[in-house]
Amino acid sequence: MLSSRRQRWHWLSCGMSDSMQRCGYAAIVGRPNVGKSTLLNYLLGQKISITSRKPQTTRHQVMGIFTEDSDQVVFVDTPGMHREQEKAINRYMNRAASSALADVDVVLFVVDRDRWTVEDDLVMEHLRNAEAPVALVINKIDRLDDQGVLLPWAESLQDARTFDAIFPISALKRANLTKLAHYIREKMPAAPHLFPEDQVTDRSERFLASELVREKIVRQLGDELPYTTAVEIESFKRDGRILRIDALIYVERSGQKKILIGKDGARLRSIGTEARKDMEQAFSSKVMLKLWVKVKSGWSDDDRALRSLGFEERS
Confidence category of residue 15, pLDDT binned at 50, 70, 90? very low
Q: Cβ(205)–Cβ(2) under 8 Å?
A: yes
Looking at residue 90, its pLDDT comes to 65
Cα–Cα distance for residue pair 127/109, rounded to 1 Å: 9
Residue 8 lies in a domain: no
Tell me: the pLDDT tens digits for 74-116? 998 877 565 565 666 666 566 666 666 778 999 999 999 888 8
Q: Which residue has the higher pLDDT, 60 or 47?
A: 47
Q: Cβ(199)–Cβ(39) under 8 Å?
A: no
Confidence category of residue 192, pLDDT binned at 50, 70, 90? very high
CA atoms within 13 A on the CB side of 281: 11
Cα–Cα distance for residue pair 208/221, rounded to 1 Å: 20
Residue 231 lies in a domain: yes
pLDDT tops 70 at residue 61: yes
Q: Which residue has the higher pLDDT, 159 or 50?
A: 159
DSSP letters spanning 125-167: HHHTT--S-EEEEEE-GGG-S-GGGHHHHHHHHHHHS--SEEE
pLDDT tops 60 at residue 6: no
Looking at residue 14, its pLDDT comes to 41
Residue 255 lies in a domain: yes
Q: Cβ(25)–Cβ(130) under 8 Å?
A: no
Quick one: 155 and 113 in the same domain? yes
Residue 11 lies in a domain: no
The dihedral over CA atoms of 301, 302, 305, 307, expressed in degrees to the nearest 10, equals 90
CATH number at residue 215: 3.30.300.20
Confidence category of residue 23, pLDDT binned at 50, 70, 90? very high
Q: Cβ(216)–Cβ(271) under 8 Å?
A: yes
Question: What percent of the chain lies above the pLDDT cut of 70?
Answer: 78
Looking at residue 188, its pLDDT comes to 97
Q: Cβ(31)–Cβ(123) under 8 Å?
A: yes
CA atoms within 13 A on the CB side of 136: 25
Q: Cβ(261)–Cβ(251) under 8 Å?
A: no
DSSP letters spanning 53-76: SSTT---S-EEEEEEETTEEEEEE
Strand duo 165-168 + 71-77: pairing? unpaired
The neighbour count for residue 41, using CB atoms within 10 Å, is: 18
Q: Which residue range forms the structural domain that includes residue 100?
A: 22-186
Confidence category of residue 59, pLDDT binned at 50, 70, 90? low
pLDDT tops 50 at residue 181: yes
Domain end position, chosen among 186, 214, 243: 186
Distance between first and last Cα of the chain: 20
Name the DSSP class of 90: H
pLDDT tops 60 at residue 268: yes
Domain end position, chosen among 128, 155, 186: 186
Tell me: the pLDDT tens digits for 109-144? 999 988 888 888 888 888 888 889 999 999 999 988
pLDDT tops 90 at residue 306: no
- In sequence order, the 6+-apart residues with CB closer than 8 A to the CB of 308 are none
Query: What's the structural domain count of the chain?
Result: 2
Of 78-92, 141-155, 156-170, 232-246, give the lowest mean pLDDT range.
78-92
Q: Cβ(196)–Cβ(164) under 8 Å?
A: no
Quick one: 263 and 157 in the same domain? no
| 241 class by beta-carbon count within 10 Å (0-12 exposed, 13-18 middle, 19+ buried) | exposed
Looking at residue 3, its pLDDT comes to 38
Quick one: 69 and 173 in the same domain? yes
Name the range with the highest mean pLDDT among 105-109, 126-130, 169-173, 303-307.
105-109
What single-letter amino acid sits at 63? M
Mean pLDDT rounded to a whole number for the chain: 83
CATH number at residue 29: 3.40.50.300
